[in-house]
Structure 1
Amino acid sequence: MSQPIDENAVRPERGKAGPLKTVFVSLMIMLVGIALIWLIFKTEPTATRKDTARETAMLVDVQSVSRGRFTPTVEVMGQVVPAREVTLGSRVGGEVIHQADAFTPGRRVEEGAELLRIDPADYEAALQQQRSELQQAKADLELEQGQQAVARQEFELLGEDIEAVNDALILREPQLKQANARVAGAEAALRQAELDLARTRVRSPFPAQVLSREVTLGSQVSAGQSLGRLVGTRQYWVEATVPLSKLRWLAFAADPDSPGASVNLHHDTVWPAGQTRTAQLTQLVGELDGNARMARVLITVDDPLALGEAEGKPPLILGAFVRAEIEGRPLDDVVRLERNLVRRNNTVWVMEERQLAIRDVEIAFRDDDYAYVRSGLESGDQVITNELSSVVSGARLRLEGDGNE
C-alpha cells in the first residue's frame, strides 16, 4: 500500500522573501529622493542684494501733473418745463363753427394762426347797430353846431353886454358838449363791437405747440371759458436743484440780455449716444426746493424742438428729467486730478526718486469727475494712478520701462 503524501512537507517557504524585497525597494526610493534634493540645491541660482532690491520694488503707473486754470463742472438733474405757457380763454360766447386742423394736441401753430371761430352773426349785428348810432350822434352834433352858430349871430345882433354865465347858456355850449359826448360814446361802443367781432376768431398769441384742446366743432362756449393749452416753442426751461454749497461756483446772467454759464444737457436713456444740447444758466429762483431743501435754478434752452438753429439736434420733451452739466467759475493755480486719485483723508500718492511719498492736499472743489487741488501738489509731480498692495511712505517703486538697477 502506498503512503499518503503530506503536502505541507513539500510546499516551499515563500513568506520569507516578501519583506526583504519591500525593504530593498523602499531603500532605493529614498536614495533617489536624496539625490534629487542634493541636485536641486546644487543647481539653485545665487540671489544677490541688488537683484533682491529690484524684485521687491512695487511696479507703478504715474501721471505728471501741472498747475493751471481749470473750469469745474457742476452736474445736476432737472425737469423740462415750458418757459411760456398760456391757457386760451374765450373772450366772447357762442357756438364754435370752425376748428383748424392744427388745433390738435401735439401740433405746432404759428403766431397769429386761427385756431377756432365762434359764430359771428350776433356780433356783426351789434357792430352794424353801433355804426348807426355813431352816425346818428354825429348828425346830432352837426345840428347842434348849426344851432350854436345861429345863437351866436343873434347874440351879436343884440349888441348888449351879458354876464359870462348867461353868455354860455345863450351860445348853447352845454348842448354842444352833450352832442360831443354822445359822439365819443358811440365811437367807443363801435370799437367795442369791432373787438367783440374780432374775438370770435381765436388765434395763437405766439409760435406754440398745442398741449390740450377742451372744445371742438359745435361746442357752445361762454366768455372766460377755457379752450385749450399752448406752450411756446422758442424757449424751454430746465428747472434744476443745486446743493447750497455749490451755488457760489455758478455764474448767473446779470440781466436778461447777457448770457449766463454754459450748460450741456444729456438725456441718456432717450437721445442717441453722444448727443447733447447746449443751454444757458439763467436765473436763481429765490426759493428752496420743498423736498430736498436745495436751491432751484432755471436753465434756458433756445429752439428746444430743433425747428431752426438747432436743427438736427434731439428735441426736448416737456416733463422729462435731464442731466445738466453746468460750467462753474474758473479756478486759478490749481491741479486737476481724477477723483479716484485722491485717497483717504485727502492724500495723494506721489513717486519721488523711485520712492512712495504720501502727500496731504487741500481740495478747492470736487465735481463728478475731478478734484481740484489748491495746495500739496506742484507742477511736474508724478502722481501714482494704480492701486498698491501696501502703502508705506518711503517704499521702493519702479516703472514698467525701468531696466536692471
Structure 2
Amino acid sequence: MKNKKLFVSLIALATIVIAITYTLMNMDAGKANKPRGNQPANKDNSRVEVDRSTTSAKPPRNLPAQTEKARNNNASETEADATKRNSDNSQAQVGVYKVSAASYHAVVKGYGEVQPVDSLSLIAQVNGQIDKIAANFKTGALIKAGETLAFINKTPYLKALASAQSDYQAAIVSLEEERLLGIQARDEWNRSGLDGDPASDLVLRAPQLKAAQAALEKARQTVASATRDVALTEVTAPFDALVISREVSPGSYIQTGGAVAKLYSVDSAEIAIGLSPSQWTLLPSYTSQAELDWPVTLLDASTNIQWQANVSRVELHQDMTTRQRNAIVSLNKPLTQQPPLLLGSFVSAQIQGIKLDNIWKIPASAVSQKQEVWFISPNNNTLQKFTPNVLFENKGFAFISPYQQLKNALIVSRPLNSYLANTRVQAVIEATTGESNND
C-alpha cells in the first residue's frame, strides 16, 4: 500500500515537469516568430531569406579593353588632384605687401622742448620797500613791454635827485664865476705891459676854469643817476612776456639785485631738435651764412595737435654727450596759434628732407623685433629674410633700401618669431605700395 502511494506521487511530478517544459517551448517559439519594427509577421512563421545575388553589384563580364583603360586613367587623375589639394591645404597663408621701388621725400624726425627766445630773471636795480603790485602782475599773465609790475618806495630817491639838482645848479654858478675871473685875469695881464704869457696857467685861471667845468659835468651825471634811480623804483617788463613766477609782495623789502619775477618772451619760440649724423644726410645742403626755411611739422604726442614751423638755423657743433647736432626750429607768436603752443611743451618734429629714388615703402610692422624683414621668394614661394637698411619712417611705414637691387617683392606684413627660412607658404596680398600707387 505504501509503495502504491509513492508511485502515484512520482507520476504526478513527472506530469508537472512535462507541462512546464511544454509551456517554455511555446514561449520561445512565439518570440522567434514575432515581427520586428512595423513589418507584419508571415502567417506561416517561416523565415524569409534574401537573395544576396540581387544586392551585390558585379561588374559586367567581357568589358572592352578601352573602357577598362579609361576607368584606370580617371582613378589616377582623381588621386593626383587629391594629392595636390592636400599639399595646398598644408601650406600656411601669409599676409604680404606687394612693394615696388619708387621715389619718396625723406622725413627726418626728432624731438625737442619748446623754449622762449628770451628768458629773463627780472631783478630790482634799487633797494627799498614794495609799495604796490600791478593788478596784472600774476603768474601766467601776459604783459606788454614797458608795463610796470611793481612800485618801490621812491621817497629817498626823490630826495637824492633834489640834492643832485642843487649841486648841479651850484656847479653852473661856479663855472660862470670862474669864466668871468679868467677874463678879468687876462685883462689885468694885458694892462701890466709884460710881454708873452705868464709863467703859470694859474695866473689866467685856466686850471680853475677846467675844474669848474669838471664839477659841472659831475653834477650833471649825478642828476642823471638820481633821475635813473627814481625811474627804477618802477619795475617794468623789458619785452612782451609771460609771467612764470612772482617773487615779491606788497610791503616786502627788496635789495638791489633781488629777484622780482621770471619772464618768458612770447614773440617767438625755438625748439632745438637733436639729429644724428645719418639724419643730417637726408636734409638739404646749406651754408653757414644762408638763411634756412625748411618746412617742419610739430606734433604734440599727447594730443596729436599739429603746428607748422620752419628750421631757421643749424648749430655747427655736436653735443659732447649725445654726439648729435641741433636744428633750430622757429615759430612766431606760439601763444596766439590755434590752439596755442605752450612754452615748455615736449614735441616731435618732422622735417621735410631730400627726395630719395629707388626705395621700398613697407609697413613698419614688417620689421621684426630682431630687426629683420621677411619676404616670399618668387621662385619657389618660400620664406626668406634679410636685415634692412631703414632710411626713415613716417606714418606707420618704413622706407628701406631694396634687397639685392630687387625692384619688386612680396614683404610679409606681420612676421612671427616662429618663422623658419625656406618654409613654403601661400601669399595673400593685403596692399600694394610703390610705383602703382600715388604715394
Q: Which residue of 1 aligns with 2:399?
A: 371
Aligned equivalents of 2:242, 2:254: Cα separation in 1: 22
| Cα distance change on mapping 1:122 and 1:88 into 2, 3 Å | same
**Alpha-carbon offset, residue 203 of structure 1:** 0.5
Distance 2:151 2:371 in 1: 71
In structure 2, what is the Cα distance between the partners aligned to 1:119 and 1:387?
73
2-structure distance, mates of 1:360, 1:339: 15
8 Å Cα contact 2:137/2:149 also seen in 1: yes
Contact 1:349 1:383 in 2 (8 A): yes
Cα 1:392–1:383 change in 2 (3 A) is same
Is this contact kept in 1: 2:116–2:270, CA < 8 A? yes
Q: Is the 1:278–1:301 Cα contact (8 Å) retained in structure 2?
A: no
Distance 1:176 1:383, change over 3 A: same
Distance 1:366 1:44, change over 3 A: same
Is 1:196 matched up with 2:229? Answer: yes
Gap change, CA 1:95 and 1:17, over 3 Å in 2: farther
Q: Do 2:365 and 2:414's aligned partners in 1 also have CA atoms closer than 8 Å?
A: no
Matched, 1:97 2:131: yes
**How far apart in 2 are the matches of 1:245 and 1:18?**
99
| Unaligned residue ranges in structure 2 (runs of 5+) | 1-7, 35-51, 57-73, 431-439
Tell me how far 1:60 sits from its aligned partner.
6.8
2:106 to 68, 71, 81: 71
1:321 to 343, 346, 349: 346
Which letter maps to 1:67? A
Alpha-carbon distance in 2 for matches of 1:374, 1:263:
28
Give the Cα separation in 1 of the matches to 2:114 and 2:266: 13
Q: 1:203 to 1:256 in 2, by over 3 A?
A: farther
Q: Give me the whole-angstrom Cα distance separating, in 2, the residues matched to 1:73 and 1:18.
A: 96
Measure the CA separation in 2 of the matches of 1:374 and 1:353. 18
Provide the residue aligned with 1:158 in structure 2: 192
What's the CA shift string for 1:10-69, capped at 9, x where partnerless? 4425789999x9xxxxxxxxx9xx99xxxxxx9999377699599949787553524325
3-state secondary structure, aligned to 1:170: coil
Aligned partners of 1:94 and 1:119 also within 8 Å: yes
Q: Which runs of 5+ in 1 are unaligned?
A: 22-30, 36-41, 401-405
Amino acid at match of 1:331: L
**1:287 equivalent in alignment to 2:325:** no
Shift of 1:298: 5.7
Give the 3 Å change call, closer, same or farther, for CA 332–61 of structure 1 in structure 2: closer
- Report how far residue 208 of structure 1 moved: 0.8
Aligned residues with identical type, % of pairs: 21
| CA-CA distance at 1:121 after TM superposition | 1.4
The alignment's C-alpha RMSD in Å is 4.4
Residues 85, 398 of structure 1: alpha-carbon distance in 2 compared, 3 angstrom cutoff: closer
Maintained 8 Å contact 1:252/1:260 = no
The 3-state SS of whatever aligns with 1:71 is: strand
SS for the counterpart of 2:238 is: coil
Aligned residues: 370
Report the alpha carbon displacement of residue 306 of structure 1 after superposing the two structures with TM.
3.1
Residue type at the aligned position of 1:325: Q
- The one-letter code matched in structure 2 to 1:65 is S
1:314-333: per-residue Cα shift (whole Å, max 9, x none)? 43242x43333343444344
Q: Distance in 2 between matches of 1:253 and 1:118?
A: 51
Q: Answer yes or no: is 1:124 the counterpart of 2:158.
A: yes
Whether the 8 Å CA contact 1:83–1:237 is kept in 2: the answer is: yes
Q: Does 1:278 align with 2:308?
A: yes
Structure 1 residues 370 and 60: CA distance shift in structure 2, 3 A: closer
Supply the AA of the counterpart residue of 2:399.
Answer: A
Q: Which amino acid aligns with 2:136?
A: A
Aligned counterpart, 1:187: 220
Q: Does 1:215 align with 2:227?
A: no
Query: Could you tell me how far 1:280 is from its partner in structure 2?
Result: 3.5
Pairwise CA distance, 1:119: 1.2
